[in-house]
Each structure stands twice: as structure tokens, then as C-alpha cells.
A = this chain, B = another copy of it.
């Protein structure tokens, strides 16, 4: 199918387009460091998956990665999914549940913050913001009924500013 950015290059105003080579390198360096610190193995496969995500202008589906990595040598879906699972557990990438896509994590995630994803229906870009108010309110909401949250998916679908401006 190809979910990788239908977005036209050119009209970018935001910090969260991880496609310039420099940003990608930073992300990768950061991932390396995180793995070193946590004693996790940033293997070649995992690195290649992460690199592709870091280099992409937007979130990618698992099969986008299968295709992109398969240019050189065939890689099976399951391998990609295993790498994605590892990267998610390491806190290096996120999954967008609304789209079944993945993207590199753009923030350090403070304990008291909830990440909010803004998914543009037009250009496909995803913006990632952190909010402690929402974290607090969600915790309160869960507490009302004795629910103990383990993970969160807070995703808004709509139209981003640049798409709105160019109607």
C-alpha cells in the first residue's frame, strides 16, 4: 500500500519531520546510547529498521519497512515485526494505533507526561506532543474506577496547520 508520506516536500514548518540527514543521525546516536545504557542489543537488523524510520518524513507501516529493507536482501515480515517490538519496548519508537504505523520517538518521555499524537488525515504526518495535564487527568479518570493503566494511546485525527493553510 505505501503509507510513507503522501506529503509534498517543501511546506514544512515543524520540528518533527525526521527526514533531514542530520536529525536522523541524532536519532540513531540517541538510540545507540539508550541501548548501551540499558544493556540492549542494537543489532544490525534493528538498526536498519530504526534508520529507515528515522529517515522517513512520516510514519511507516511494517510492510513499508519490509519493502524498503528488502531492496538489498529479502527480509520477512516477522523479522520486521520483531525489530519493531524490540524498539517499542526500548522506548525508541511509537506505534500509531489509528494507522498501524510506526515512527521514531521524538521526545524524552518524562514519567508524568502523556504523549499525544496528532495524525493529519491529509498529509499523513504525525506530530508528537507531551502533556502533563493530560497525564494527570487520565490518571484521575482511571483512578475513578480503580483502573491501573499500563500503556496509553492518545491519538487525534484531523488536519494539521500546513494542510489547513493550503486548503
Determine whether A75 belongs to the interface, using a CB cutoff of 8 Å to chain B. no
The interface bits of chain A over 141-167 (1 if a CB of B lies within 8 angstroms of the residue's CB, else 0) are: 110111111111111111111001000
**Chain B residues, CB < 8 A from A120:** 147
The interface bits of chain A over 119-141 (1 if a CB of B lies within 8 angstroms of the residue's CB, else 0) are: 01100000101010110011011
Known contacts A116-B141, A129-B145, A145-B127; A150 and B159 CB within 8 A of each other? yes
Known contacts A134-B141, A145-B161; A153 and B155 CB within 8 A of each other? yes
Determine whether A97 belongs to the interface, using a CB cutoff of 8 Å to chain B. yes
Residue of B97, B137, B141, B159 near A147 (CB, 8 A) is B159
Per the bound structure, the CA–CA distance linking A147 and B127 in Å amounts to 9
Known contacts A156-B152, A161-B147; A134 and B127 CB within 8 A of each other? no
Residue of B14, B134, B148, B153 near A138 (CB, 8 A) is B134
Residue of B129, B131, B137, B150 near A157 (CB, 8 A) is B150
Determine whether A90 belongs to the interface, using a CB cutoff of 8 Å to chain B. no
The answer to whether A137 touches B133 (Cβ under 8 A) is yes
The answer to whether A150 touches B121 (Cβ under 8 A) is yes
A interface residues, how many (CB within 8 angstroms): 36
The answer to whether B159 touches A97 (Cβ under 8 A) is no
Determine whether A60 belongs to the interface, using a CB cutoff of 8 Å to chain B. no
A140, A156, A160 interface centre (most CB from chain B within 10 Å): A156
Residue of B141, B155, B159 near A152 (CB, 8 A) is B155
| Chain A residues engaging chain B, CB cutoff 8 angstroms | 14, 97-98, 116, 118, 120-121, 127, 129, 131, 133-134, 137-138, 140-142, 144-161, 164
